Amino acid sequence: MGDIEAHQREAGTGADGHAEPRTHIVSELGMAVRLVGDELHGSAPVVPEMYVPGTGFVRTSILATWADVLAGMLIGGLLAPRVPVTLELAVDLYGEPPACASLHGVGRIIKAGRSVAVASVDFTTDGGEPVAMGTASFMAAPDVTLTLPPLATTLAGRHAGGPLTAPFAERAGCERREPGVAVLARSDDALNASHTIQGGLIALAAEEAVLSRAPGTTLASLAMRYLRPARVGPLVATAAVHGDLARVDVRDAGSDGRLTVSATTRTFPPRG
């Protein structure tokens, strides 16, 4: 599911030898969220650490992460106290992301089914220019011992984090191992309410695998199908690129290499 604002992980040690709290990676993306009628509105400042390396464009994986946050919180409010898990997540950009000081997202429930719920998220610049649209579907986690508080309680205790002070991939521990292959380490500050690796961070691994084979490009679209929880890690994303289209398999190396996510992407043409 979306962001784990309730989780402040313990990582690292201070000068006195005691553990210092480390914020969740997703919270460092700095999205403030508020309920407006039946919608969730999110807003976050844009900083260079969010850009695809070598460009001035916000990563599509960050838009996917924010979409997962807004949609997941909405569906979480619908299913509470059950925890929602993401089944599918897709983000499509209207064009290369324009330069802007902040980005805004509006999440809406578009299907409240008995077994599957679906939400949409529309992104715009601070000036109201459309940037991207996202869609995500969820089901309740099979483990009924996992619970969430009501949405109002979650929002009351939630604080926008940030700013991101290291490039997103570096902060998340995602490395390009070779052309077409990226590896995402498992860390406590990257987990969701199901105690598995957060879906938006898996999007980062898929994005990095593709970009390592297509330098100078950014993702125009990203569609992910979550096949099983990413519990152990590290995750290994392998991209097969054909022109501007790619298929990415993300496998959990610590769980016998089982396929966790199947993704497809499309890139914008290289600039220049």
pLDDT in tens, 87-112: 999 999 999 988 899 999 999 999 99
Cα 141 from chain centroid? 18
- pLDDT category at 12 given cuts 50, 70, 90 is very low
More confident call, 5 vs 25: 25
Average pLDDT over the chain reads 88
- Residue 19: is its pLDDT beyond 50? no
Q: Which amino acid is at 54?
A: G
Q: Would you state the CATH architecture of domain 26-267?
A: Beta Barrel (2.40)
Give me the phi and psi of 61, to 5 degrees please. -65, -30
- Report angle CA 70, 73, 76 to the nearest 5 degrees: 150
Token pair for 76: 């979480």
Beta-carbon-side half-sphere exposure of residue 194 (alpha carbons within 13 Å): 25
Share of the chain above pLDDT 70, in %: 90
Q: pLDDT tens digits, residue range 28-38?
A: 999 999 999 99
Q: Where are the domains of the chain?
A: 26-267
**What is the pLDDT averaged over residues 12-28?**
57
Token pair for 60: 């599509």
CA-to-CA dists, residue 141 to 150, 209, 230, 252, angstroms: 16, 28, 14, 19
Gap between the Cα atoms of 142 and 83, Å rounded: 9
- Quote the pLDDT of residue 49: 96
Q: pLDDT tens digits, residue range 178-226?
A: 999 999 999 888 787 778 898 889 999 999 999 999 888 999 999 999 9
Q: Which amino acid is at 33?
A: V
